Structures are given as structure tokens and as C-alpha cells.
Amino acid sequence: MKPLRIGVLGAARISDKAIIEPARNTGHRLVAVAARDRNRAEQFAQDGNIERVVDSYQEVIDDPEVEAIYNPLPNGLHGPWNLRAIAAGKHVLSEKPSASNASEARDVRDAVNASGVKFMEAFHYRYHPVMKRMLELASSGELGELTNIDVHMSFPNTDPTDPRWDFDLAGGATMDVGCYAIHGLRSLRNVGGGEPSLVSARAVERPGSRGVDEQLEATISYPSGLTARFESSFVVPEMDFTMRITGTSGEAFAHNFCVASFDDRITVTVDGVQRVEELGTKTSYTYQLEAFADYLRNGTPTFSDADDAVVQAECIDACYTAAGLPLCPTTHL
């Protein structure tokens, strides 16, 4: 496969794992990067084997050698810079959430449809064998008739200056880790008879941070009547990225369905007999970049395209509305 030629917006911490290491593993080229601090960009490029540094995000987008943009900027800047990239005819791999709200996600989808470029929201977990296996177990009948699904996506965020606490940058636990929980439950729609709908949601607003949820829990229901619950939180003692699928005959428990390179185990218990499956610690980000390249080069469908991103954003908006919190605002450049 001809290597992708990728431009990177910003020097975000997530980029080391999310794009630099995967590009190194797969042979795709990181052509250009820009950051607010030129010195930081220079160091970032040197450490990450990025070919050149330019002075602005727009210059990355306009670089004629760049064919695809990776956007790991703060949440509130995903939508507007995705739109800028699409307008320039560039494909986009956008960190999640790819828009601040459903209205902005629709704008991105419409721009993608009008331009003919390809767009992928970076739900990396969905491309790892752990999640594939959880879907197989849920649909195989081995667990019996499914009765409940429970997902936790939480980690301690103790940095008060973290932009994920900033409402104007679309911060909040649901926008950060909770969106994985929502997407994971949506990925199980085939075993539930279709897309789930929200039953109820309750949030805890961070003191002193208007509109920002430090914790949110919600219950959803699938058309079949199967129910599920998720919780996302920034105020927990330790990381908890788990998924439990329960049926009348047993359960499947993914110890870290989101970042399986940390823990690739699925514990399956059926009729009282337990086994542990290990699905491999190759990073989900590497699987994701391979899927993105296959999408661009071969047209292979993706699990998280622009249409899916709209449904995802609508679910997030519904959670915030039900919990009595405002929707995240759209940023205008």
C-alpha cells in the first residue's frame, strides 16, 4: 500500500501514541506539523520523525504534499479545523469527539458529502480484536439471552489547568472518556435490534466550572428491550475502562475494552465455568491507522465515518440535556 501523507495539527500529548507510533509501525509518512509554540513543534517533529514544521495549522492543511489531516486539538477545535481541512480537499482523521455538538457534526457530515473526501472519527478501540471479540460473544448465543450491558469509562483528572475542564473548549467527562462508553454501547446495536435510545441521565457538575460534567451516568434501551448503563467520571481513584455483557447463561468482561494494549483480557464465565481470552497487545491506534489507510486507499468501510459521528453527537447531546447541562458550544475560528 502506498504510504499515506499525513499532516498533524498541534503537538498534543496523545499524538505520541495515537499517530507517531502507529505511523512508525505501519510505514505511513508524517509530512508536516504546526503548533502554537514553534519550538515545541520543532522538538515534537524531531522526536516523532515528522518531516517538516510549518508556522500554522492552515499551512499544514494547505501543504500540497499532505493528503490527510490528523486533528488532535482540544475538543472545541475539532469541528472548525475539520471543516477547514475538508474545504481544502483533505481527508480527515479527527480525534473524538469530532464535533462539539450534533449541529456541528451535521455541518461536518454535509461538508464531507459535498466534497467527496473521507472522514473518520478516531474511536480506535473499535478496530482492536478485543472489541471485535466482545461483539462476537454478545451475538453468538454463548451468553444466553442478553440481559444487561455495563460500561465504565473513568480516570482521575487531577490537573485543574487541563482543557478538558474548559466548557468553551467542549470539556467534560462525557466529551472525553464518556463518548467511548456511548460509542461502545452503540456498537452493540445489532444485538439490541438497532440504535439505542436514552432512558435517563444524571450528572455532577464540576464546582467552579460552569456546564462541565465531572461525572455522568446514564441508562439506555435498545429496541429489543435490552438495557445498558454507562458511567464516565474524572473523579475516581484509578482508571476503569471496563465493559461487562451479561446474559442468562453467563457474562463476558473486558478488562480494558478501550485501551487493550494495557490489558487485552476478556474473562468469559458460562454456566459457572470461567476462561480468560487474551487478544493481543498491539495498540488499538495502530489498528486504527491501518483501517484509516484501508479506507482511503481501498474504500473499505469504517466503523466511525461522518454519518456515524452525527448519531454519536446526538447521543451525547441527549445525555447532557437529560442531565440538565447545556450543550457544548460551537467554536468559530
Look up the domain containing 72 and give its range: 5-123+287-304
Residues 265 and 191 in one domain: yes
Residues 275 and 138 in one domain: yes
Q: Which helix (H) or strand (E) holds 86?
A: helix 78-87
Residues 40 and 161 in one domain: no
CATH number at residue 269: 3.30.360.10
- Tens digit of each residue's pLDDT, the chain (333 residues): 899 999 999 999 899 999 999 999 999 999 999 999 999 999 999 999 999 999 999 999 999 999 999 999 999 999 999 999 999 999 999 999 999 999 999 999 999 999 999 999 999 999 999 999 999 999 999 999 999 999 999 999 999 999 999 999 999 999 999 999 999 999 999 999 999 999 999 999 999 999 999 999 999 999 999 999 999 999 999 999 999 999 999 999 999 999 999 999 999 999 999 999 999 999 999 999 999 999 999 999 999 999 999 999 999 999 999 999 999 999 998
Residues 94 and 191 in one domain: no
Query: In angstroms, how far apart are the furthest CA atoms of the chain?
Result: 61
Instruction: Give the closest residue to 10 by CA, choosing from 33, 27, 26.
Output: 33
Please report, to the nearest 10 degrees, the dihedral formed by the alpha carbons of residues 270, 276, 281, 283 taken in order: 20
Contact call for residues 82 and 119 (beta carbons, < 8 A): yes
Tell me if the bond preceding 22 is cis, omega within 30° of 0.
Answer: no
Residues 74 and 113 in one domain: yes
CA distance 163 to 165: 5
Binning the chain into helix, strand and coil, the percentages to the nearest 5 are 40, 25, 35
Residues 112 and 218 in one domain: no
pLDDT of the residue at 1: 87
The arrangement of strands across the sheet holding 91-94 comes to 52-53, 29-34, 5-9, 68-71, 91-94, 119-121
Domain for residue 180, yes or no?
A: yes
pLDDT of the residue at 292: 98
User: DSSP letter at 209?
Assistant: S
CA distance 246 to 264: 19
Residues 251 and 133 in one domain: yes
Domain for residue 331, yes or no?
A: no
CA distance 70 to 80: 13
Contacts of 159 (CB under 8 A, 6+ apart): none
Residues 264 and 142 in one domain: yes
Residues 276 and 292 in one domain: no
* Number of domain units in the chain: 2
Radius of gyration, CA atoms only, the chain: 19
Q: Around 39, how many Cα atoms within 13 Å sit in the side-chain half-sphere?
A: 0
CATH number at residue 94: 3.40.50.720
Residues 112 and 169 in one domain: no
Distances (CA, A) of 169 to 92, 146, 310: 20, 38, 19
CA distance 310 to 102: 6
Residues 41 and 173 in one domain: no
User: DSSP letter at 163?
Assistant: G
Domain for residue 312, yes or no?
A: no
Locate 92 and state its grid cell. 480527515
pLDDT of the residue at 43: 95
Residue type present at position 239: M
Locate 138 and state its grid cell. 454478545
Residues 30 and 138 in one domain: no
